[in-house]
Amino acid sequence: MRIHGLTVLADSLRGIPSPAPPDCDSCRVAVPRAEVDSIRVFESDVSVSQFVLTAGFFAVLGYTILSATFRD
């Protein structure tokens, strides 16, 4: 089961199933901790896209500065 918005409680794990939007409170499910054998954590795609966008911005900025500096 893939869930997001995970909350770990003393007796259960609660969250929203992955296909549902994060703000769907009526979609929230609870799984008893005794039934959970492992948890995998994945980074959000937002952080990856933010990194790529930031790296691209600085690459273009660096190229612009270098090309203006070495222009004859």
Q: Which pLDDT score, from 0 to 100, does residue 37 have?
A: 87
Domain assignments of the chain as residue spans, ordered by start: 1-41, 43-72
Region 26-47 average pLDDT:
82
Cα gap 39→11, rounded to integer Å: 15
- How confident is the model at residue 72, as a pLDDT? 60
pLDDT for res 68: 87
Q: How far is CA 6 from CA 37, 44, 56, 62, 71, in A?
A: 16, 13, 32, 40, 54
pLDDT band at 24 (very low <50, low <70, confident <90, very high): confident
User: Does the pLDDT at position 45 exceed 80?
Assistant: no
> Cβ(48)–Cβ(33) under 8 Å?
no
- Is pTM beyond 0.85 here? no
What's the rounded mean pLDDT across residues 19-41? 87
